[in-house]
Amino acid sequence: MSDPLVISRRSLLAGLPAAGLLTLAHGADAAPQAAAPEIKVQRPKVAALLTEFRKLSHAEVILDRILEGFGWESQHYRPQLELVSMYVDQFPEGELSRERDARFDPLKIYPTIAQALTLGGDKLAVDAVLIIGEHGQYKVNEKGQTLYPRYEFFQQTVDVFRSSGRGVPVFNDKHLSWNFDWAREMVDTARKMNFPFWASSSVPITWRLPQIEVPLGAEVTEALAVGNGNPDSYDYHALETLQALLERRKGGETGVKRVQALRGDAVWKAFEAGSWSAGGWDPALFEACLCRSHQLAPAREGFNHVYPTLADLRRMVADPVAYRIEYADGTRSTMLLMNGLVGDITCAIQLKGQAEPLSSLFYLGGDHETQPHNFDALVWHIEQFYRTHQLPCPIERNLLATGLVWAGVESLSRGGAVLETPELAIRYQPRAESIYRRT
């Protein structure tokens, strides 16, 4: 009997979207567009609150694009933003914030968050706040979560808003907090105080190869993402990317009913199960994802075919992780972290009544370790958010993805227990037009 995980040449072709469901630039972009949002602030003054600023940190790849520009639509683009202040929590060897402070005027490092927001005065003196609580040396709890102070930065920002009697747009890089109760509080606080609040990964916004989209209102039965990295880190990128696709299904987002996370041998048993009902996932979705990867591990000694068998996977992937997610409307999805097999993020979506799944690579652009071009589109959307006060996509997407990271880590800490998740009964409707990069 042949191994069900050997991906054939036919499977490679099967990863292509069904006819009529491939969204190309000249298709979706040709549709009538809504009127451009009104510009609220022509050139917003931005305060950045950072854990650290070193080479290839999120602070560097975001802030340097604000300071020096980036490639956009075949030209060098300089955002209409003025970075005027920074609060930096840690200064490791090789840190860059002091050099940027000296080189760019009027940028200045302030010793407290309050001073960065008031520019040393008594009242809020900036037009936008950027929170980048990623990287740095912070405590790790018993569940393996790094306790980045995103919530604490947000709370100190809100204190200045309250004392000043007004708020401004706030963007938070990646998921909101390691503590889901705090994440929900952040969203509720912004809503009560009536200031625009957005958060996102760069991955759902980057290029899709090919440029697929889940048709708005489509019936989705199952979805799967394959990525790399670790829980409480890169799992967030894959989960929000899945969410950007799934939220477009019939009825919009209905929330998540339960989550189970698997690790090690439990993942291989789920692979062998071969279907969701048996405790695994649809192998065709996994195959479709691998067919899209640009960083699939090369053939190694012992391979006699193009793609890996289950035995190969066991040799290549030392610590597999899977999150199995059941939505309130019956939709099912799986997120796999497969270090040693892939170095990128791919997704596959099975639509009801379609023979083959939609699938795509979420392309980070060139050598991600030295040229992380996926941040170009994120910075462009941050600029539009700050200037118009309009959210590019609902904050609930980020909140739900934050909750999925929390639930996945919690399930792992309980040995793979199935978690009922009433906390994740988060309902929302997506934007009609997706914001991923098309050029």
pLDDT of residue 368: 58
Question: Residue 150: how many CA atoms within 13 Å on its side-chain side?
Answer: 28
Determine the Cα–Cα distance for residues 131 and 17; give it in Å rounded to an integer: 37
Question: 245 in helix, strand or coil?
Answer: helix
Question: Domain 45-173 has what CATH class?
Answer: alpha beta
Q: Using the predicted structure, report yes or no on whether residue 19 has a pLDDT greater than 70.
A: no
Residue 301 tokens, joined: 């000694």
Domain locations in the chain?
Answer: 9-24+205-363+392-424, 45-173
- Bridge partner list, 88: 50
pLDDT of residue 207: 95
H-state helical runs in 2-112? 9-14, 25-28, 58-68, 97-103
pLDDT of residue 309: 84
- In 296-404, at which residue ranges do the beta strands (DSSP E only) sit? 321-327, 332-337, 345-351, 358-363
Q: Using the predicted structure, report yes or no on whether residue 424 has a pLDDT greater than 60.
A: yes
Measured between its terminal Cα atoms, the distance across the chain in Å is: 45
- Please state the pTM of the whole predicted model: 0.90
Question: Worst-scoring range by mean pLDDT, 26-40, 279-293, 356-370?
Answer: 26-40
Residues constituting the chain = 439
pLDDT of residue 7: 42
Question: Worst-scoring range by mean pLDDT, 7-21, 131-145, 311-325, 330-344?
Answer: 7-21
pLDDT of residue 366: 67
Q: Using the predicted structure, report yes or no on whether residue 25 has a pLDDT greater than 60.
A: no
Question: Worst-scoring range by mean pLDDT, 62-71, 113-122, 297-306, 421-430?
Answer: 297-306
> What does the pLDDT look like over 146-186, one tens digit per residue?
999 999 999 999 999 999 999 999 999 999 999 999 999 99
Determine the Cα–Cα distance for residues 188 and 167; give it in Å rounded to an integer: 14
Mean pLDDT throughout 262-275? 96
CATH number (3.30.360, 2.40.160, 1.25.40, 1.10.1660) of 9-24+205-363+392-424 reads 3.30.360
> What is the overall mean pLDDT for the chain?
90
Q: Are 17 and 210 in contact (CB under 8 A)?
A: yes
pLDDT of residue 11: 42
> What does the pLDDT look like over 276-313, one tens digit per residue?
999 999 999 999 999 999 988 864 555 555 667 888 89
Q: How many CB atoms lie within 10 A of CB 277?
A: 8
Q: Using the predicted structure, report yes or no on whether residue 21 has a pLDDT greater than 80.
A: no
> What does the pLDDT look like over 118-128, one tens digit per residue?
999 999 999 99
- Residue for token digits 């067919």? 291
Contacts 24+ apart (CB under 8 A), 107-115: 107/67, 107/83, 108/84, 109/85, 110/85, 110/86, 111/87, 112/87, 113/49, 113/87, 113/153, 113/156, 113/157, 113/160, 114/156, 114/159, 114/160, 115/85, 115/87
Residue 102 tokens, joined: 């000296």
Mean pLDDT throughout 405-410? 98
